[in-house]
Structures are given as C-alpha cells and as structure tokens.
Structure 1
Amino acid sequence: MTFSPDPDLVARIAASTGLSAAEAARVVEDVVAFHAEPVEEFVRRRHAHLKTYGAKNPEIFARIAEELADRVVAAPELTERQLRRLIYG
C-alpha cells in the first residue's frame, strides 16, 4: 500500500516554502514516515545512536523514555526493563 499525501497539505507546504509540488510531497512523505516508525524500531535506533556517542544505559533509557513521551502520537510509557527487552530481547 502506497501513501499518497493530502493534496491540500502539499499545496500549502509548496506555497509557504517555495518548493515544487513534487518536493513538497516528498517532504510530507518523509515526515509521515518518520512519525510512523514503530516504537520498537525507534527505541533500538535511538539506543544505538546514543551508545555511539558514549552515553551509558541509565542515561540512555531515561532519555528514550522522555523522547517517547514527546512524540506526536505518544507511545505508551515503558519501564527501563521494557526498554532493555526491546533492545536486547
């Protein structure tokens, strides 16, 4: 199933940014894809990213929990144990 962005939204983005309709559609598609990322994938991706920059697990788990709460469609609140299980199985 392919996603087709709302034409009114695409037109608004194009008009307010000076992008072409095709570029605006691509931006909308990218934003929707970013926010459609499943919680499990988000947690694993953020953990790996933060680990790369030297963060330790207690700090990482607290930060991921905060980030999850701030998502456009907030994920359910996850405990540190649940976050660990998503990452390590």
Structure 2
Amino acid sequence: MPVDRALVDHVVRTTGLSAPDAARVVEDVVAFHAEPLEAYVRRRHAELKTYGARNPEIFAALAEELAHRVVAAPALSERQLRRIVYG
C-alpha cells in the first residue's frame, strides 16, 4: 500500500523526523492497524490467556478494545468472539 504523502509531510512538520523516517513510521502504523479482525482477536486472546486471564474477562476486554480501534470493528457478542477463537 503506498504511503499517503500528505500524512508523511504532516508527520515531518510536526515531529522533526526526516521524510524517510516519517514514511517508515507511517508505514508501521498503517501495517499495525491493517491486521484483520479475526487475526487480532486470536492474537489478543492468546496474549491475555498467557497472563492467566479467563475467557469471560478476555472476551469483555476484547469487546472493549475492538470498540476503540482506529477503525472500530462492529460490536461482536461473546459468542461471535468465541467462534473466531475456537472456530
């Protein structure tokens, strides 16, 4: 995906980064937010499980996180989240 030149110029003006560094930062942020919903849910479920969280609290946390992403995902029920994780 090509980098939005206007966004890179804005980052250069507001941060003092060089144009190549600003472009790399923009690419990294766009790539981070481009993760598909299902991949994000599976990854975060595994991460939270690693720290000992149980499914009810994990699914509540996931629903909250998804509602606040840059491009918010649709509201998903615990059942829908469970189906993403376990199939």
The normalised TM-score by structure 1 is: 0.90
1:51 to 49, 52, 68: 49
- AA of the residue aligned to 1:12: H
- Report the alpha carbon displacement of residue 20 of structure 1 after superposing the two structures with TM: 1.2
- AA of the residue aligned to 1:34: F
- AA of the residue aligned to 1:11: D
TM superposition outliers: structure 1 runs of 4+ over 6 Å: none
- AA of the residue aligned to 1:20: S
- AA of the residue aligned to 2:85: I
SS for the counterpart of 1:54 is coil
- AA of the residue aligned to 2:31: A
* Alignment: residue pair count: 87
RMSD: 1.0
Q: What percentage of aligned pairs have identical amino acids? A: 71
- Alignment-derived partner of residue 20 in structure 2: 22
- Alignment-derived partner of residue 8 in structure 1: 6
In the alignment, structure 1 residue 79 sits paired with structure 2 residue 77? yes
Structure 1 unaligned regions, length at least 5 = none
In the alignment, structure 1 residue 41 sits paired with structure 2 residue 47? no
- AA of the residue aligned to 2:4: D
Structure 2 unaligned regions, length at least 5 = none
- AA of the residue aligned to 2:72: A
- Report the alpha carbon displacement of residue 15 of structure 1 after superposing the two structures with TM: 2.1
